[in-house]
Amino acid sequence: MSEPNNEQPMFTKERFIEIEEELERDNEFIILRNLNGNPVQFRNRFQGFGTSEVHTYNPYNPESRYYIEFGHERELKEHIASGKPRGTYVPLRLTDTIRQGPRLTEEDTMARCRQQIARWESSKEYRHLIETLARVVTPPIEKIILFGAGPVALGPDKWRAEHAMALTVARILSEDQGFEVDLYAQEPSYTPVCKRVLTSLRIKVIPGVGARGLSMIDENTLIMTNCSAFAMRQVVAELGVLPAGMFWKPDVSEEEFNGLSKDEQEAFHDVDTPKTREMITKYDRYDIPFSGISMFSFHEMEELRRQRALEPAEFAPFSTWYFRKDSN
């Protein structure tokens, strides 16, 4: 097979669907594809488990499952610099990760979610978000996809808070547009309890191990993600479609990124690239308070608040809206 040109995207919707279906088949061997489209085959170490769920929490005997690992532009450059052909690079891979069952019962999880929703709706951050949305004319939005917000039956309250924020956005957009905006959530670590509780809250859980939701992005989608664990910006920029909006960390200039140490650069997954910066020019940016802090210092937000003698933030906001410019 001939080498594709350098404009060949690293990610496509077809490849996302393909890798999810490959795992569902649960065969003895798993087939992935490099940028040339050629198959890369390896033995399925978890055959028999497939994409099955973990139903119980056992910290002394955790179970492992496959997890999709996304490549990124920096890694591809290193691949080429080492003398390997571009086409042999595999952008969608599998790694294994620990899967835990729920720590909380369904009743306890629902109670904590409702408590967190109430706390969120009485917070300053909630009012800031409402005020920001009130001054924006958005493109038509038919669905919201929340990525990587964390398992609500397993983790801390901040994960439940992220779901509460998404519910607020879905409600406001539904009221403004006069029809119900579907809210989807993709989190490979969701437990069976998480899925039942979120379904009860009218959040549609996307099945799979981390790629299916990306295949659902279209021009009427609003993306929400906070501290993405993979190169989400690059994925979106390469899909060949401009979503209606994104709610994530602010974009970072090349100068700011180059000013970081190599260790600091390597510590961040969702880094801007020339393609993401080109994509962002087609969007208007709307900040909520403290969103001007770059994603590199975002985790120091509380320290900055302390230095400025401001009250600590109870909810860490996603920080910045981007809406496609055709809304003007």
Confirm if 23 and 50 have CB atoms less than 8 A apart. yes
Q: For the chain, what are the domain ranges? A: 13-99, 106-327
- The span from the CA of 304 to the CA of 291, in Å, is 12
In this prediction, the residues of the chain whose per-residue pLDDT falls under 70 are 1-7, 60, 263-269, 289-318, 327-328
- The span from the CA of 315 to the CA of 129, in Å, is 11
Element housing 113 (H / E): helix 106-121
Six token digits for residue 179: 């029809």
Confirm if 219 and 244 have CB atoms less than 8 A apart. yes
> What sections of 222-273 are H helices per DSSP?
232-238, 254-258, 262-266
Q: What is the 3-state secondary structure (H, E, C) of 52-108?
A: CCCCCCCCCCCEEEEEEEECCHHHHHHHHHCCCCHHHCCCEEEEEEEECCCCCCHHH
Q: In what order do the strands lie in the sheet with 143-147?
A: 204-205, 182-186, 143-147, 221-225, 245-248, 320-324, 283-287
How far from 42 is each of 30, 94, 132, 215, CA to CA, in Å?
6, 10, 49, 24
Question: What is the model's pLDDT at position 56?
Answer: 82
Question: What is the model's pLDDT at position 313?
Answer: 55
Confirm if 68 and 17 have CB atoms less than 8 A apart. no
Q: Provide the strand spans (E) within 113-264.
A: 143-147, 182-186, 204-205, 221-225, 245-248
Question: What is the model's pLDDT at position 99?
Answer: 86
Q: Provide the strand spans (E) within 10-57.
A: 29-33, 39-43
φ, ψ (nearest 5 deg) of residue 125: -60, -35
Quick one: CATH architecture of 106-327?
Answer: 3-Layer(aba) Sandwich (3.40)
Confirm if 320 and 288 have CB atoms less than 8 A apart. yes
φ, ψ (nearest 5 deg) of residue 152: -70, -20
Question: What is the model's pLDDT at position 249?
Answer: 78
Six token digits for residue 135: 């001054």
Question: What is the model's pLDDT at position 311?
Answer: 53
The single-letter DSSP state of residue 300 is G
Element housing 173 (H / E): helix 157-177
User: Which amino acid is located at 208 in the chain?
Assistant: G
For residue 44, give every residue at least 6 positions away whose Cβ sits within 8 Å of its Cβ, in sequence order, or none: 26, 27, 28, 29, 30
Question: What is the model's pLDDT at position 296?
Answer: 46
Question: What is the model's pLDDT at position 298?
Answer: 45
Confirm if 219 and 128 have CB atoms less than 8 A apart. no
* Strand 182-186 relative to strand 39-43, pairing: unpaired
φ, ψ (nearest 5 deg) of residue 240: 80, 15
Confirm if 170 and 185 have CB atoms less than 8 A apart. no
Question: What is the model's pLDDT at position 135?
Answer: 87
pTM, whole model, 2 decimals?
0.89
